[in-house]
Amino acid sequence: MDDLSGRKVVVIGGSAGIGYASAEMALDAGAEVAIAARGEERLKAAAERLSAKAGRDVPWQVIDMRERANVAAYLAAAAPFDHLLLPGANVYRTTFADLDEELARASFDAKMWAPFFAAYDARPHLRKGGSIIFYSGLANRRPVPGYVVGAIIDGGLDAATRSLAYELAPEELRVNCISPGIIETAYVERISPEVKDELFGAYAKKVPVGRVGQAEDCAKAAMYLMTTGFVTGAVLRVDGGIESAP
Ligand SMILES: NC(=O)c1ccc[n+]([C@@H]2O[C@H](COP(=O)([O-])OP(=O)(O)OC[C@H]3O[C@@H](n4cnc5c(N)ncnc54)[C@H](OP(=O)(O)O)[C@@H]3O)[C@@H](O)[C@H]2O)c1
Protein backbone atom coordinates (compact mmCIF):
# COMPACT_ATOMS: atom_id res chain seq x y z
CA MET A 1 0.00 0.00 0.00
CA ASP A 2 1.16 3.53 -0.79
CA ASP A 3 1.12 5.25 2.56
CA LEU A 4 2.30 8.82 3.00
CA SER A 5 0.82 9.46 6.43
CA GLY A 6 3.12 11.63 8.50
CA ARG A 7 4.84 12.90 5.33
CA LYS A 8 4.68 16.36 3.82
CA VAL A 9 4.64 16.81 0.05
CA VAL A 10 5.24 20.17 -1.67
CA VAL A 11 4.15 20.50 -5.29
CA ILE A 12 5.31 23.50 -7.34
CA GLY A 13 2.94 23.38 -10.29
CA GLY A 14 0.16 21.85 -8.24
CA SER A 15 -2.84 23.79 -9.55
CA ALA A 16 -3.42 21.69 -12.69
CA GLY A 17 -2.48 18.64 -14.70
CA ILE A 18 0.08 16.18 -13.43
CA GLY A 19 0.93 18.27 -10.37
CA TYR A 20 -2.68 18.58 -9.25
CA ALA A 21 -3.36 14.86 -9.72
CA SER A 22 -0.23 14.05 -7.72
CA ALA A 23 -1.22 16.41 -4.91
CA GLU A 24 -4.64 14.77 -4.80
CA MET A 25 -3.22 11.25 -4.73
CA ALA A 26 -0.69 12.16 -2.03
CA LEU A 27 -3.53 13.60 0.08
CA ASP A 28 -5.52 10.39 -0.41
CA ALA A 29 -2.47 8.49 0.84
CA GLY A 30 -2.49 10.53 4.06
CA ALA A 31 0.17 13.15 3.29
CA GLU A 32 0.11 16.76 4.31
CA VAL A 33 0.24 18.64 1.00
CA ALA A 34 1.11 22.20 -0.04
CA ILE A 35 0.71 23.49 -3.58
CA ALA A 36 2.11 26.45 -5.51
CA ALA A 37 1.75 27.85 -9.03
CA ARG A 38 1.60 31.22 -10.80
CA GLY A 39 -2.07 31.82 -11.51
CA GLU A 40 -3.92 32.71 -8.30
CA GLU A 41 -7.46 31.94 -9.38
CA ARG A 42 -6.83 28.39 -10.56
CA LEU A 43 -4.48 27.72 -7.64
CA LYS A 44 -6.96 28.89 -5.02
CA ALA A 45 -9.74 26.84 -6.63
CA ALA A 46 -7.47 23.78 -6.71
CA ALA A 47 -6.54 24.20 -3.04
CA GLU A 48 -10.21 24.59 -2.11
CA ARG A 49 -11.13 21.40 -4.00
CA LEU A 50 -8.31 19.49 -2.33
CA SER A 51 -9.13 20.90 1.12
CA ALA A 52 -12.81 19.94 0.74
CA LYS A 53 -11.87 16.43 -0.33
CA ALA A 54 -9.31 15.90 2.42
CA GLY A 55 -11.29 17.59 5.16
CA ARG A 56 -8.24 19.62 6.11
CA ASP A 57 -6.52 22.76 4.93
CA VAL A 58 -4.26 22.55 1.88
CA PRO A 59 -2.05 25.65 1.91
CA TRP A 60 -1.37 27.40 -1.39
CA GLN A 61 1.08 30.06 -2.46
CA VAL A 62 1.42 32.02 -5.68
CA ILE A 63 4.95 31.30 -6.91
CA ASP A 64 6.70 31.52 -10.25
CA MET A 65 9.34 28.79 -10.17
CA ARG A 66 11.59 30.97 -12.36
CA GLU A 67 11.92 33.51 -9.54
CA ARG A 68 14.55 31.85 -7.44
CA ALA A 69 14.53 34.10 -4.38
CA ASN A 70 10.76 33.73 -4.01
CA VAL A 71 10.98 29.96 -4.43
CA ALA A 72 13.74 29.74 -1.83
CA ALA A 73 11.68 31.77 0.64
CA TYR A 74 8.62 29.62 -0.05
CA LEU A 75 10.56 26.41 0.55
CA ALA A 76 12.03 27.76 3.78
CA ALA A 77 8.55 28.68 5.00
CA ALA A 78 7.15 25.25 4.05
CA ALA A 79 10.00 23.38 5.80
CA PRO A 80 10.45 20.70 6.88
CA PHE A 81 9.01 18.49 4.15
CA ASP A 82 9.63 15.02 2.77
CA HIS A 83 9.02 15.23 -0.96
CA LEU A 84 9.33 18.03 -3.49
CA LEU A 85 7.55 17.62 -6.84
CA LEU A 86 8.51 20.07 -9.58
CA PRO A 87 6.13 19.78 -12.54
CA GLY A 88 5.54 23.55 -12.82
CA ALA A 89 7.01 24.41 -16.18
CA ASN A 90 6.25 24.84 -19.85
CA VAL A 91 8.49 25.07 -22.89
CA TYR A 92 7.88 26.92 -26.09
CA ARG A 93 7.14 24.87 -29.17
CA THR A 94 9.09 25.51 -32.34
CA THR A 95 10.77 23.80 -35.22
CA PHE A 96 14.51 24.34 -35.54
CA ALA A 97 13.90 26.36 -38.71
CA ASP A 98 11.69 28.84 -36.85
CA LEU A 99 13.86 29.06 -33.75
CA ASP A 100 13.72 32.24 -31.64
CA GLU A 101 16.79 32.58 -29.43
CA GLU A 102 15.10 34.54 -26.68
CA LEU A 103 12.24 32.06 -26.36
CA ALA A 104 14.61 29.10 -26.49
CA ARG A 105 16.72 30.50 -23.66
CA ALA A 106 13.61 31.40 -21.68
CA SER A 107 12.46 27.78 -21.97
CA PHE A 108 15.72 26.62 -20.41
CA ASP A 109 15.19 29.07 -17.55
CA ALA A 110 11.64 27.81 -17.00
CA LYS A 111 11.91 24.07 -17.38
CA MET A 112 15.54 23.25 -16.59
CA TRP A 113 17.17 25.88 -14.40
CA ALA A 114 14.07 26.67 -12.33
CA PRO A 115 13.58 23.09 -11.02
CA PHE A 116 17.34 22.59 -10.77
CA PHE A 117 17.76 25.58 -8.44
CA ALA A 118 14.55 24.75 -6.59
CA ALA A 119 16.08 21.35 -5.84
CA TYR A 120 19.27 23.05 -4.64
CA ASP A 121 17.39 25.46 -2.41
CA ALA A 122 15.18 22.68 -1.02
CA ARG A 123 18.07 20.56 0.21
CA PRO A 124 18.35 21.96 3.72
CA HIS A 125 14.59 21.69 4.19
CA LEU A 126 14.02 18.08 3.09
CA ARG A 127 13.83 15.46 5.79
CA LYS A 128 16.25 12.55 5.53
CA GLY A 129 14.71 9.75 3.48
CA GLY A 130 12.88 12.30 1.37
CA SER A 131 12.98 12.83 -2.37
CA ILE A 132 12.85 15.27 -5.25
CA ILE A 133 10.97 14.54 -8.49
CA PHE A 134 11.77 16.29 -11.76
CA TYR A 135 9.58 16.12 -14.87
CA SER A 136 11.28 15.72 -18.23
CA GLY A 137 9.49 14.22 -21.25
CA LEU A 138 9.34 11.98 -24.23
CA ALA A 139 10.96 14.44 -26.66
CA ASN A 140 14.40 13.54 -25.32
CA ARG A 141 13.92 9.91 -26.35
CA ARG A 142 11.87 10.22 -29.54
CA PRO A 143 11.64 13.27 -31.80
CA VAL A 144 8.35 15.10 -31.19
CA PRO A 145 7.41 17.70 -33.82
CA GLY A 146 7.90 21.21 -32.43
CA TYR A 147 9.79 20.10 -29.34
CA VAL A 148 13.43 20.47 -30.32
CA VAL A 149 14.10 22.86 -27.41
CA GLY A 150 12.11 20.66 -25.04
CA ALA A 151 14.12 17.64 -26.16
CA ILE A 152 17.41 19.20 -25.08
CA ILE A 153 15.94 20.31 -21.76
CA ASP A 154 14.43 16.87 -21.12
CA GLY A 155 17.84 15.31 -21.76
CA GLY A 156 19.38 17.74 -19.27
CA LEU A 157 16.83 16.87 -16.58
CA ASP A 158 17.32 13.14 -17.09
CA ALA A 159 21.08 13.63 -16.74
CA ALA A 160 20.69 15.89 -13.70
CA THR A 161 18.58 13.19 -12.05
CA ARG A 162 21.36 10.61 -12.25
CA SER A 163 24.05 13.04 -11.05
CA LEU A 164 22.00 14.44 -8.20
CA ALA A 165 20.96 10.99 -7.00
CA TYR A 166 24.67 10.41 -6.47
CA GLU A 167 25.43 13.84 -5.06
CA LEU A 168 22.55 13.89 -2.57
CA ALA A 169 22.92 10.30 -1.38
CA PRO A 170 25.14 11.37 1.55
CA GLU A 171 22.27 13.60 2.67
CA GLU A 172 19.92 10.59 2.50
CA LEU A 173 17.85 12.21 -0.22
CA ARG A 174 16.67 10.51 -3.40
CA VAL A 175 16.25 12.18 -6.76
CA ASN A 176 14.06 10.79 -9.53
CA CYS A 177 12.43 11.97 -12.72
CA ILE A 178 9.16 11.23 -14.49
CA SER A 179 9.36 11.30 -18.26
CA PRO A 180 5.79 11.59 -19.53
CA GLY A 181 4.61 10.69 -23.00
CA ILE A 182 1.55 12.52 -24.26
CA ILE A 183 -0.66 13.15 -21.25
CA GLU A 184 -4.07 14.81 -21.51
CA THR A 185 -3.71 17.79 -19.18
CA ALA A 186 -4.38 21.51 -19.13
CA TYR A 187 -1.59 22.09 -21.62
CA VAL A 188 -3.98 20.93 -24.37
CA GLU A 189 -5.81 24.22 -23.83
CA ARG A 190 -2.82 25.86 -25.51
CA ILE A 191 -3.09 23.84 -28.73
CA SER A 192 -5.85 23.94 -31.33
CA PRO A 193 -8.50 21.17 -31.28
CA GLU A 194 -7.37 20.01 -34.75
CA VAL A 195 -3.73 19.65 -33.69
CA LYS A 196 -4.85 17.97 -30.49
CA ASP A 197 -7.01 15.42 -32.32
CA GLU A 198 -4.27 14.63 -34.79
CA LEU A 199 -1.52 14.39 -32.17
CA PHE A 200 -3.55 12.37 -29.67
CA GLY A 201 -5.05 10.10 -32.32
CA ALA A 202 -1.67 9.31 -33.85
CA TYR A 203 -0.13 8.67 -30.43
CA ALA A 204 -2.94 6.38 -29.27
CA LYS A 205 -2.62 4.41 -32.49
CA LYS A 206 1.12 4.07 -32.12
CA VAL A 207 1.66 3.06 -28.49
CA PRO A 208 1.07 -0.50 -27.28
CA VAL A 209 -1.53 0.55 -24.69
CA GLY A 210 -3.67 2.27 -27.35
CA ARG A 211 -4.38 5.56 -25.59
CA VAL A 212 -2.80 8.81 -24.48
CA GLY A 213 -1.97 9.18 -20.80
CA GLN A 214 -3.98 10.81 -18.04
CA ALA A 215 -2.57 12.94 -15.23
CA GLU A 216 -3.39 10.10 -12.82
CA ASP A 217 -0.92 7.84 -14.65
CA CYS A 218 1.87 10.25 -13.75
CA ALA A 219 0.51 10.73 -10.22
CA LYS A 220 0.76 6.97 -9.66
CA ALA A 221 4.36 7.11 -10.86
CA ALA A 222 5.07 9.88 -8.36
CA MET A 223 3.51 7.79 -5.58
CA TYR A 224 5.80 4.91 -6.49
CA LEU A 225 8.87 7.14 -6.51
CA MET A 226 7.98 8.80 -3.21
CA THR A 227 7.22 5.57 -1.37
CA THR A 228 9.94 3.29 -2.74
CA GLY A 229 13.11 3.98 -0.78
CA PHE A 230 15.23 1.72 -2.98
CA VAL A 231 14.71 3.86 -6.09
CA THR A 232 16.93 6.83 -6.87
CA GLY A 233 18.44 8.23 -10.05
CA ALA A 234 15.54 6.70 -11.97
CA VAL A 235 13.95 8.22 -15.05
CA LEU A 236 10.53 6.62 -15.06
CA ARG A 237 8.89 6.55 -18.47
CA VAL A 238 5.14 7.02 -18.28
CA ASP A 239 4.33 6.96 -21.95
CA GLY A 240 2.18 3.96 -22.87
CA GLY A 241 5.23 2.13 -24.19
CA ILE A 242 6.27 4.45 -27.04
CA GLU A 243 9.74 2.92 -27.13
CA SER A 244 8.17 -0.45 -27.86
CA ALA A 245 6.30 0.96 -30.84
CA PRO A 246 7.66 -0.09 -34.23
N1 LIG B 1 1.26 16.74 -20.53
C2 LIG B 1 2.16 16.19 -21.32
O3 LIG B 1 1.83 15.60 -22.37
C4 LIG B 1 3.61 16.26 -20.97
C5 LIG B 1 4.52 15.59 -21.80
C6 LIG B 1 5.86 15.64 -21.51
C7 LIG B 1 6.30 16.35 -20.40
N8 LIG B 1 5.40 17.00 -19.61
C9 LIG B 1 5.91 17.76 -18.47
O10 LIG B 1 5.22 17.44 -17.27
C11 LIG B 1 5.16 18.60 -16.43
C12 LIG B 1 3.70 18.87 -16.05
O13 LIG B 1 2.95 19.04 -17.25
P14 LIG B 1 1.36 19.20 -17.28
O15 LIG B 1 0.92 18.65 -18.59
O16 LIG B 1 0.76 18.71 -16.03
O17 LIG B 1 1.25 20.79 -17.36
P18 LIG B 1 -0.04 21.72 -17.10
O19 LIG B 1 -1.29 20.93 -17.17
O20 LIG B 1 0.14 22.89 -18.01
O21 LIG B 1 0.14 22.18 -15.57
C22 LIG B 1 1.30 22.87 -15.20
C23 LIG B 1 1.19 23.31 -13.75
O24 LIG B 1 2.39 23.99 -13.41
C25 LIG B 1 2.11 25.38 -13.12
N26 LIG B 1 3.23 26.17 -13.66
C27 LIG B 1 3.60 26.34 -14.94
N28 LIG B 1 4.67 27.14 -15.02
C29 LIG B 1 5.00 27.46 -13.75
C30 LIG B 1 6.02 28.26 -13.16
N31 LIG B 1 6.92 28.92 -13.91
N32 LIG B 1 6.07 28.35 -11.82
C33 LIG B 1 5.18 27.72 -11.04
N34 LIG B 1 4.18 26.95 -11.53
C35 LIG B 1 4.09 26.83 -12.87
C36 LIG B 1 0.75 25.64 -13.79
O37 LIG B 1 0.01 26.69 -13.18
P38 LIG B 1 0.27 28.22 -13.64
O39 LIG B 1 0.29 28.22 -15.14
O40 LIG B 1 -0.86 28.98 -13.05
O41 LIG B 1 1.58 28.60 -13.05
C42 LIG B 1 0.07 24.30 -13.51
O43 LIG B 1 -0.31 24.21 -12.16
C44 LIG B 1 5.80 19.73 -17.23
O45 LIG B 1 7.17 19.82 -16.89
C46 LIG B 1 5.69 19.26 -18.65
O47 LIG B 1 6.66 19.83 -19.52
C48 LIG B 1 4.06 16.96 -19.87
pLDDT digits (tens, 9 = 90+) for 17-32: 999 999 999 999 999 9
> What mean pLDDT value characterizes the chain?
96
Closest residue by Cα to atom 26, ligand 1, is 88
The answer, yes or no, to whether any atom of ligand 1 lies below 6 A from the CB of 13, is yes
Tell me: pLDDT of 209 over 80: yes
Q: Which atom of ligand 1 is nearest to the CA of 110?
A: 31
Q: What is the length of the chain? A: 246
Residue 96 is which amino acid? F
Tell me: pLDDT of 190 over 90: no
Domain architecture of the chain: domains with CATH: 8-238 (3.40.50.720)
Tell me: pLDDT of 238 over 70: yes
Closest residue by Cα to atom 28, ligand 1, is 89
The answer, yes or no, to whether any atom of ligand 1 lies below 6 A from the CB of 183, is yes
Average pLDDT rounded to a whole number, residues 106-115: 98
Q: Ligand 1 centroid vs 187 CA: distance in angstroms?
A: 7
Q: Ligand 1 centroid vs 170 CA: distance in angstroms?
A: 30
Predicted TM-score (pTM) of the model is 0.98
Tell me: pLDDT of 14 over 90: yes
